[in-house]
Amino acid sequence: MPFGKYRPFLDTNPVDLPDRQWPGKRITKAPRWLSTDLRDGNQALIEPMDPARKRAMFDLLVKMGYKEIEIGFPAASQTDLDFVRSLVDNDAVPEDVTVSVLTQARTDLIHRTIDTLEGFPRATVHLYNATAPVFRNVVFRNDKEATKQLAIDGTRDVMDYLEKVMDDDVIVGYQYSPEIFVDTELDFALEVCEAVMDIWQPADDREIILNLPSTVERATPNVYADQIEWMSRNLSRREHVVLSAHNHNDRGTGVATSELAMLAGADRVEGCLFGQGERTGNVDLVTVGLNLYTQGIDPQIDFSNIDEVQKIVEHCTRMETPARMPYVGDLVYTSFSGSHQDAIKKGFEARRKKIEETGDDTWDLPYLPIDPADLGRTYEAVVRVNSQSGKGGVAYLLSTTKNLDLPRRLQIELSQIVKNHTDASGGEVTADELWHIFADEYLPASEVDGLEPWGMYALRGTSMTTDEDARSHLTVTISVSGEDREITTSGNGPIDAFVAAIEQLGHRIHVLDYAEHALSEGRDATAAAYVEAEIDDQVLWGVGIDPSTMTASFKSIISALNRTRR
Ligand SMILES: CC(=O)SCCNC(=O)CCNC(=O)[C@H](O)C(C)(C)COP(=O)(O)OP(=O)(O)OC[C@H]1O[C@@H](n2cnc3c(N)ncnc32)[C@H](O)[C@@H]1OP(=O)(O)O
Ligand SMILES: CC(C)C(=O)C(=O)O
Ligand SMILES: [Mg+2]
């Protein structure tokens, strides 16, 4: 690996800012957002969006609440131009949405671009030229002066042509981007931006957007933050400047870079949904927005149906969303590992209790930085079971899908049984499969979804009376290897009487623990009973489910008894 051919970024692009202020700052409000899905995102797709897909993307962005949307590079192609015009022709742009169009600093392209804006309520002309040394030397073969002049001339072209052709009823703003700002000498980037402002003359009601792109991300996020703070401090007319961050994600730190930029003074963030864009993408607006949300800050964007957003974006871009994509990936609210599941289960219980007792719904759940329900996700996928899972996950699934509230030691016993399955199969156990494993193990006589009934013993019928001394007198019919036996016993209570019946079958049995609860409410309620018993020197659990609590408890003892012989 010939790492020696690379240079540390700071060797060539030092930032002199020893008294930087951004590390001590906090983000307290959402920035202005610009979605560039239809431009930067679209230009990086294997198959660029067709008009219908572009329209679906535009409508989605509007619905989510984005107020600034870059809709294309209309001078680049007839498709882009037609789409821009179709938005006007179909009255698709709400009054409070500003569309933005990108152009190079070339007179013919600027004119063609501005011509497309007729009829929009609000628009921004976005002009860029490359200012970084490698572009000056290799691509444009321009010196600094000529590079600056290109930006000046382009800005003047925009103003002159707007003056000439644009109706007063279109509110047109201006955005300038020095391309690969991060690679450009800071004092030169400042010089070009100042020269552009000298032409545009920002003032009250005449802002200028200065967009400083990390076109290619090449350093740690703190370096970009220093660059932004340096620009923010040194720009003149700062109160009329909207300082905008445009971050790509080459080092995988686009989100962090945008966030630190906000600390450092950026007023506005450009990016794409789920980080579409050239190479590793533009910064992901969903992650940046929801990161704010989880700090109690209103992102001003509606993420409440994240699955719908994902579906539309996937349709438009023909790109898949990775399963671990923050906030939206299939697995991002899922825990497989035992200790995580245990903590989440306890967390949900504690949360329910806290809300019931105090009404306080502050989110504080282990391993879940956000409530999936806020994004329209259900809790169903929060816990999934595989060989890494423990009792917590198994118990959570049975509780959420079947209302079964298993006692702790039963959870431990069942979890070992499930582990035997997952170790053998190597894969995940779905909630349905888990129910089958549970039912096959503990409810042998039940008619659960085609499971083969098994077990030497089965409860056929019971009849019980209680005398004036509160003693229970029980007549019970138990099938033993297919043959019914009627036994009559008595005890201090129904369970005691039933244990005595089991002893008549020749077993030693001692009940160690017992629990029961209703599975449902109302007249047709069902009960679940759990018994831990020592039977013929084995200690194990049994489970019974029945509309009658008493029968459920008898069935639980039969379940444990059968399990001793399996
Ligand atoms: C970082 C970004 O995302 S920037 C946006 C990039 N997106 C796109 O380029 C998509 C759309 N672009 C296009 O379709 C085409 O590039 C067009 C239609 C705009 C221009 O096409 P062409 O006229 O054929 O030029 P081409 O694409 O080869 O561009 C290179 C020329 O433009 C010049 N150029 C490049 N950028 C700029 C700029 N911002 N301002 C002025 N001139 C520029 C180059 O110096 C080069 O000039 P040269 O031919 O004299 O050497
Ligand atoms: C056109 C500019 C803003 C751009 O997309 C970039 O530099 O990444
Ligand atoms: Mg870009």
pLDDT digits (tens, 9 = 90+) for 118-172: 999 999 999 999 999 999 999 999 999 999 999 999 999 999 999 999 888 888 9
Nearest ligand for residue 244 CA: 2
The reported pLDDT for the residue numbered 37 is: 98
C-alpha closest to that of 125 among 30, 215, 44, 200: 200
Residues with CB under 6 A from ligand 1: 40, 43, 73, 76-77, 104-106, 128-129, 139-140, 150, 179, 215
Longest dimension (CA), the chain: 108
Q: What is the pLDDT of residues 74-123, one digit of tens each?
A: 999 999 999 999 999 999 999 999 999 999 999 999 999 999 999 999 99
Residue type for 129, please?
A: N
Give the end-to-end CA distance of the chain in Å, rounded to a whole number: 60
248 is in an annotated binding site: yes
246 is in an annotated binding site: yes
C-alpha dist (Å) from residue 75 to 8, 71, 112, 262? 38, 12, 6, 32
The predicted model scores a pTM of 0.85
201's tokens: 């003359």
Is this complex's ipTM strictly greater than 0.90? yes
Return phi, psi of residue 527, to 5°.
-115, 150
Rg (CA), the chain: 34
The reported pLDDT for the residue numbered 83 is: 97
155's tokens: 């800005």
Which residue minimizes the CA distance to atom 44 of ligand 1?
140
For 112, the enclosing helix (H) or strand (E) is helix 107-115
The stretches in the chain having pLDDT less than 50 are none
Three-state secondary structure call for residue 561 = helix
d(CA 528, CA 523): 15
The reported pLDDT for the residue numbered 41 is: 98
Q: From the alpha carbon of 105, which atom of ligand 1 is closest?
A: 40
The reported pLDDT for the residue numbered 465 is: 95
Choose the residue to mutate in 40, 104, 112, 279 for probing ligand 1, maximizing ligand atoms within 8 Å of C-beta.
104
C-alpha closest to that of 338 among 273, 268, 275, 386: 386
Nearest ligand for residue 179 CA: 2
Residue-range domains of the chain with CATH? 29-317 (3.20.20.70), 351-441 (1.10.1220.20), 457-564 (3.30.160.270)
Per DSSP, the residues of 428-439 read: -B-HHHHHHHHH
d(CA 324, CA 321): 8
Strands 208-214 and 241-247: parallel
Which residue minimizes the CA distance to atom 47 of ligand 1?
140
Query: In this structure, what DSSP letter does residue 18 have?
Result: T
> Cα(317) to centroid of ligand 1, in Å?
23
492 is in an annotated binding site: no
